[in-house]
Amino acid sequence: MTDSYDVVIVGGGPAGCRLAEGTARKGFSTLIIEEHPSIGSPVQCAGLVSPRTVRMVNPPGRVVLAEMVGADVFGPDISFTFQADDARGMVIDRRAFDRHMGERALKAGAELELHSSVMSIDKGSVTVGDRTVSASIIVGADGASSMVRRSMDVPGPKYLFPSVQYDMPDWKGPLDRVSIIVDQDIAPGFFGWAIPHGEGARIGSAVVPGSIAAGDSIALTVKKFRDVSYLGSEATTSIVSGTIPIGPLSRISSGNTLIVGDAAAQVKPVSGGGLYPALTAADIAVGSIEGVLSGDTVLREYDRAWKKRFHGELSFGMKAREAFISMDNANIDRLFRIFARDEVSAVISKHGDIDHPSRLSGPLVKTAPDIVGEVAKTYLGDALKSIRKKLSLGKKD
Ligand X SMILES: Cc1cc2nc3c(=O)[nH]c(=O)nc-3n(C[C@H](O)[C@H](O)[C@H](O)COP(=O)(O)OP(=O)(O)OC[C@H]3O[C@@H](n4cnc5c(N)ncnc54)[C@H](O)[C@@H]3O)c2cc1C
Interacting residues with ligand X (CB under 6 A): 10-16, 33-36, 44-49, 117-118, 141-143, 147, 163, 165, 204, 240, 242, 244, 261-263, 267, 272-275, 278
42 preceded by cis ω (within 30°)?
A: yes
Distances (CA, A) of 199 to 167, 168, 181: 9, 9, 21
Q: Is the dihedral of CA 325, 381, 338, 361 positive or negative?
A: negative
Nearer to ligand X, 338 or 356 (CB): 356
User: Shortest gap between Cβ of 282 and ligand X (angstroms)?
Assistant: 8
Nearer to ligand X, 149 or 224 (CB): 149
User: Shortest gap between Cβ of 369 and ligand X (angstroms)?
Assistant: 32
Nearer to ligand X, 276 or 324 (CB): 276
Q: How many residues does the chain have?
A: 397
Single-letter residue type at 330: A
User: Shortest gap between Cβ of 307 and ligand X (angstroms)?
Assistant: 18
Burial 50-78 (b: 16+ CB within 10 A, else e): bbebbebbebeeebbbbebbbbbbbbbeb
User: Shortest gap between Cβ of 301 and ligand X (angstroms)?
Assistant: 20
What whole-number distance in Å separates Cα of residue 218 and Cα of residue 38? 29
User: Shortest gap between Cβ of 275 and ligand X (angstroms)?
Assistant: 3
Burial 122-143 (b: 16+ CB within 10 A, else e): eebbbebeeeebebbbbbbbbb
Q: Which residues pair with 138 in a beta bridge?
A: 8, 257
Residue nearest to ligand X (CB): 274
Single-letter residue type at 252: I
User: Shortest gap between Cβ of 368 and ligand X (angstroms)?
Assistant: 28
The kind and range of the H/E element at 179 are strand 177-181
Single-letter residue type at 157: P
Nearer to ligand X, 313 or 374 (CB): 313
Q: Quick check: 202 and 218 in contact, CB under 8 A?
A: no
Nearer to ligand X, 258 or 335 (CB): 258
User: Shortest gap between Cβ of 279 and ligand X (angstroms)?
Assistant: 9
Nearer to ligand X, 36 or 337 (CB): 36
What whole-number distance in Å separates Cα of residue 382 and Cα of residue 129? 50
User: Shortest gap between Cβ of 58 and ligand X (angstroms)?
Assistant: 17
Q: Residues 273-276: contacts with CB within 8 Å, 24+ apart? A: 273/48, 273/49, 273/354, 273/355, 274/244, 275/14, 275/45, 275/49, 275/53, 276/49, 276/50, 276/52, 276/53, 276/56, 276/355
Nearer to ligand X, 241 or 297 (CB): 241
User: Shortest gap between Cβ of 43 and ligand X (angstroms)?
Assistant: 8
Nearer to ligand X, 84 or 194 (CB): 194
User: Shortest gap between Cβ of 391 and ligand X (angstroms)?
Assistant: 40
Nearer to ligand X, 121 or 338 (CB): 121
Residue 250 is classified by DSSP as S
Nearer to ligand X, 228 or 240 (CB): 240
